Amino acid sequence: MIRRLTPEDAERVATLRLEALKTAADAFLATYEDAVNDTNFVEKYRGRLATSDEMFTIGYLEEEELVSVATFVRNSATKMRHRGDIYAVYTSSAVRGKGYAQQVMEFLLEEVSGLDGMEQVYLTVVEDNHAAVSLYEKLGFKVYGLDQRAMKADDRYLNEVLMVKEV
């Protein structure tokens, strides 16, 4: 089942986020260590999941277990209200290959396309995450740049592909 997540899903989201930070560390700015040491980790998600058209998270639940997520945030600046960003896209390694990420993204993009004045959505993806880049291109995202050395993990730099889609 795919749906917008609510504050009641905070523990599910936090659990999946910890998995993401542990198993796909290069894909995210946050670290697993920071997350497990954050005493307000679940509560932060509870606040972020107060759904609105300005910010919402879409999740795929398989038998009540959250297995795939993506978050949309609309730009709040007056001259940039036509834009939004997609963050924190992740699918549990246990269910990859079932098409859940694509379904979550399609659901999210459908929701976004219905927002008044929304014209384009942006996302970034680590350059060597070829599966994600392929998925986003399949969904109609276009590469418009490369942020070189966008992140530094230990002594390694990671480049991020910058992508945009008109909705």
pLDDT for 31 equals 87
For 137-156, write each residue's pLDDT tens digit.
999 999 999 999 999 988 99
pLDDT for 143 equals 98
CATH numbers and ranges of domains, the chain: 2-119 (3.40.630.30)
pLDDT for 120 equals 98
Take residue 2 and report the two structure tokens written for it.
Answer: 């795919």
Q: Provide the whole-model pTM.
A: 0.93
For 19-57, write each residue's pLDDT tens digit.
999 999 888 888 899 898 888 889 888 988 987 889 999
Q: Distances in Å between the alpha carbon of 156 and those of 13, 15, 147, 160? A: 28, 27, 15, 13
Rounded Cα gap, residues 164 and 167, in angstroms: 10
Take residue 125 and report the two structure tokens written for it.
Answer: 């993806």
